[in-house]
């Protein structure tokens, strides 16, 4: 293989490594969300309504953080796709996201709000946020 093609392959591996780290961080955040939620709910033996409602705050915080990682993952995917489509001589081998050609349709995909309400984040964090509310309602009905 020629040197330009080898450099392109290594560049693509580098971008793929960043994408994998972003996805791994997102998975870890979901794990931490469940761990924090379960620990708060298990320590709440008195069924304190304030404690149940306060458990939504870390869920929301992790949701915001996860949306950031998901948005960055999408941006690096765009950089990866752009690098695949370019010739070796046209690549600048930069990891910055400033020079990615973005179409109008793609701009909505890398938006923070869009990442926050994507299918992979909204249903998980909505379920985690609703769990304390459902427990609170059940506790109020049983009293």
pLDDT in tens, 106-140: 777 788 999 999 998 999 999 999 998 888 888 88
Pick the residue with more confidence: 63 or 99?
63
pLDDT greater than 80 at residue 49: no
Q: Are 52 and 129 in contact (CB under 8 A)?
A: no
Q: Are 37 and 131 in contact (CB under 8 A)?
A: yes
**Residue 47 φ/ψ, nearest 5 degrees:** 55, 45
How many helical (H) and strand (E) elements, i.e. helices and strands, does the chain have?
A: 6, 0
What pTM was estimated for this model as a whole?
Answer: 0.86
pLDDT of residue 1: 57
What ranges do the domains of the chain cover?
3-142
pLDDT greater than 80 at residue 105: no
């Amino acid at each position: 293989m020629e040197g330009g093609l080898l450099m392109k392959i290594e560049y693509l591996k580098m971008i793929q490594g960043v994408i994998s780290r972003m996805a791994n961080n997102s998975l870890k955040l979901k794990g931490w969300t469940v761990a924090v939620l379960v620990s708060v709910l298990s320590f709440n033996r008195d069924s304190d309504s304030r404690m149940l409602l306060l458990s939504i705050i870390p869920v929301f915080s992790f949701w915001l953080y996860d949306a950031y990682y998901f948005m960055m993952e999408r941006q690096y995917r765009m950089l990866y796709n752009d690098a695949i489509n370019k010739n070796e001589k046209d690549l600048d081998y930069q990891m910055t996201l400033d020079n990615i050609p973005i179409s109008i349709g793609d701009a909505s995909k890398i938006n923070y709000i869009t990442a926050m309400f994507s299918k992979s984040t909204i249903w998980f964090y909505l379920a985690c946020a609703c769990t304390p509310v459902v427990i609170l309602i059940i506790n109020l009905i049983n009293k």
